[in-house]
Amino acid sequence: MNFKAITMNDIARALDLSASTVSKALSNSYEISEKTKKLVLDYAEANNYKPNLIAQSLKQGHSNSIGIVVANIDNHFFSQVINGIESIAYQEGYNVIFTQTHESYELEVKNVNHLAHRSVDGLLISLSTETNNIDHLQKLQRQGLPIVFFDRVSDDMETHKVIVDNFKGAYEATTHLIKAGYKNIAHITAANTSVTRERLSGYEQALTDNGINVNQQYIKYCQHAGKDTAEIKGILDELLTNAVSPDALFTAFDRITTVTLGLLHQLKIKIPQHIALLGFTNTVLADVLNPSLSTVYQPGFEMGQEATKMLISLIKTKRLVTEFETIVLPTQLFLRNSTLRK
Amino acid sequence: MNFKAITMNDIARALDLSASTVSKALSNSYEISEKTKKLVLDYAEANNYKPNLIAQSLKQGHSNSIGIVVANIDNHFFSQVINGIESIAYQEGYNVIFTQTHESYELEVKNVNHLAHRSVDGLLISLSTETNNIDHLQKLQRQGLPIVFFDRVSDDMETHKVIVDNFKGAYEATTHLIKAGYKNIAHITAANTSVTRERLSGYEQALTDNGINVNQQYIKYCQHAGKDTAEIKGILDELLTNAVSPDALFTAFDRITTVTLGLLHQLKIKIPQHIALLGFTNTVLADVLNPSLSTVYQPGFEMGQEATKMLISLIKTKRLVTEFETIVLPTQLFLRNSTLRK
DNA sequence: ATGAAAGCGCTAACAG
DNA sequence: CTGTTAGCGCTTTCAT
């Protein structure tokens, strides 16, 4: 059982023409007579001819498709980014292939290489939490593959990037908690990404600016951005048995935020009476959670759009690009019941 | 700016060998001496050689990749299915390419054809709500492309299918509402899919079996499975201004369920006091919604796994397959506060 | 206006 | 053990 579609040679043979004539007719070349064009087009139509895109790609050296690498698609933020990417890509005639790293460095390398050597014309990537080393990307960039970073970026490569103002988003969130009367604000975040560092400094700066000492015992890292519920459970246990248990949590990643909410429920901890909760998440359910959840929202759709526009411009440029841009989008703070004034 | 990776010919030229020797060395053929193998392997390693998968696919007529078509990835159910698919596919050495139809027939046709002619070895598909006609799939099947349906299937094609027991899931859900004391149970569902019909009959049968008349005014269809919030808003308005306003809602699709919850909140309708809510959804947040949400859960991960196993077996079979199987997985009913006894 | 031929990168049958 | 050759389906010169 093997997929066999009709080819140009089949058409050529059937109509007693040459393959090159058929090719030209199909692409509406001025060299071909109207009569022949019609003949070919009608036959192709009638026999459901579709060009073999693999052969086209091999011949042309490009494929009109772009590759996407994200941590997980079952994440509100990333799925919004993907929708933004698609919206621009389709409009510009590009197809989109996406892959998940599941926060694994190994899978990231594998997927990146697979995409590159399946001849995507460019790559859009948000690094996995495990990734420290971007050799795999640098090699491809040196070979001429256009790469644009979004969300979790690396300083080790010069290219276009799209991020949100993580520092400001975290600063505003933390400041809100302080103004609402919370004093002992813990921070749960993912290990090792650019996003981690920026949000952490926003958190620390807000504390400092309000005369609160940064307590290292209140800063907790998850290895895989919240995929491991047990790990977050352990972190909460540590925080809650601390000499001074925190009265608010500021969570920095989508999955960490929602998992934390679930765990606090299981522990029968009242929000915000016992502990307030505010986190980065793009869930559309924030309003209908119990309690409704104060969130830092990231413009995922717009991020996808901007990154894609930049990538396509890189793809289309013939000359070497050496001037790169980093777009910084604003976050939005939505205040709901999980951070009601103390 | 064009991606140029090192090729086998580059290696052959550099080492003064022929391309076929290099090819054989790289695939560890018994024909090649250890010395030459080492020479080639080392050079390839040092120069970051990666085979051009496009060329391999063209040559071999297959690509070790499978294509997935779903409505939307930002849907808890579908993203779980995708994770199930990946788990089997990777293990069997296949890569996965997925695309979204956004419930559009046109996009479905486009994506299906794109995948097929980009030489995926097989296709896994859940139909869009708009799809009535599966010519596009039948043509490909006739040409020998293995196709497996999951979730939203069609009777118009003989092939392997994986579904859940939609009738039973809906029957149990409706019966639960009745037993809990609800009398006027409305049903909001998506238009036009196999899933719609099966869940609708489960709902109707449960009513009938309990001596309740089926009221057509209580059965409402959304055109795009809940993507259009305004449409659901309109439906709720109609239901609530009905002569006898329903005291319970049974929603049949993931997105419809969560959007309905949000809209009831906006309308300041108390759940379950004013209206109970129970729906199909795979959201992991069901426990922490307000109120916690009674749900019909579908084993998405397992569905993805089963479908992929079947597809890969079809791909690997050389002879024509004429005996097809439909796997039916059970749903699970989770009772929470949104359907508390009246 | 049409066709012959070469080649994209790779594999495989066949020769040596 | 290594090389030559042909060909996957398509595009693109270059002839005719």
Q: Where are the domains of chain A?
A: 8-51, 63-163+300-329, 166-298
Q: Note the CATH number of domain A63-163+300-329.
A: 3.40.50.2300
Are A316 and A92 within 8 A, CB to CB? no
Q: What pLDDT was estimated at residue B118?
A: 87
Percentage of chain B exceeding pLDDT 90: 87
Fold agreement between B63-163+300-329 and B166-298: yes
Q: In Å, what is the separation between the CA of B86 and the C1' of C10?
A: 27
Cβ within 8 Å, pair A1-B289: no
Q: Which residue in B168, B78, B83 sits closest to B126, CA to CA?
A: B78
- Average pLDDT of the segment spanning A40-67: 92
| Predicted pLDDT at B321 | 85
Q: How far is the CA of A59 from the C1' of D9 (A)?
A: 9
Which tens digits make up the pLDDT trace of B242-258?
Answer: 889 999 999 999 999 99
Q: How far apart are CA B51 and CA A113, in angstroms?
A: 10
Distance B333 CA to C11 C1' (A): 53
**3-class SS letters over B80-120:** HHHHHHHHHHHHCCCEEEEEECCCCHHHHHHHHHHHHHCCC
For A220-264, write each residue's pLDDT tens digit. Answer: 999 988 888 999 999 999 999 988 999 999 999 999 999 999 999
Contact B139 A48 (CB under 8 A): yes
Confidence of residue A8 (pLDDT cuts 50, 70, 90): very high
Upper half-sphere CA count for residue A243 (Cβ side, 13 Å): 2
- Chain B residues in contact with A123 by the CB 8 A cut-off are none
Phi and psi at B135, nearest 5°, equal: -45, -45
Residues of chain A above pLDDT 70, percent: 99
Question: Which amino acid would we find at residue A202?
Answer: G
Residues 256-295 of A with CB under 8 A from B: 258, 261-262, 265, 283-285, 287-292
Closest by alpha carbon to B329, among B152, B127, B166, B155?
Answer: B166
Which nucleotide is closest to A11, CA to C1'? D9
pTM (2 decimals)? 0.92
Contact B112, B123 (CB under 8 A): yes
Which token pair is B29?
């053929």
What average pLDDT does the segment B143-172 reach?
Answer: 97
Tell me how many degrees the CA angle A146-A152-A158 measures, rounded to the nearest 5.
Answer: 40
Assign B221 a pLDDT band (cuts: 50, 70, 90): very high
The two three-digit tokens of residue B273, written as one number: 């006091």
CB contact under 8 A, B117 and A53: yes
Is residue A48 within 8 angstroms of chain B, CB to CB? yes
Q: Work out the pLDDT band at A341, boundaries 50, 70, 90.
A: confident
Q: In the CATH scheme, what architecture does the domain A166-298 have?
A: 3-Layer(aba) Sandwich (3.40)
Spatial distance between the Cα atoms of A177 and A342, rounded to a whole number of angstroms? 9
- Within 8 A by CB and 6+ apart from B42, the residues are none
A 57-76: CB within 7 Å of strand D? 58-60
- Reported as half-sphere exposure (CB side, CA atoms, 13 A), residue A279 has a value of 30
Res A342 pLDDT > 80? no
Chain A residues closer than 8 Å to B287 by CB: 262, 265
Residue carrying structure tokens 């118009």 = B156
Q: Are B212 and B174 in contact (CB under 8 A)?
A: no
What's the pLDDT tens digit per position in A270-307? Answer: 999 999 999 999 999 999 999 999 999 999 999 999 99
Angle at A113 between CA A329 and CA A322, to 5 degrees: 50
Residues B259/B74, Cβ–Cβ less than 8 Å: no
B210 touches chain A (CB under 8 A): no
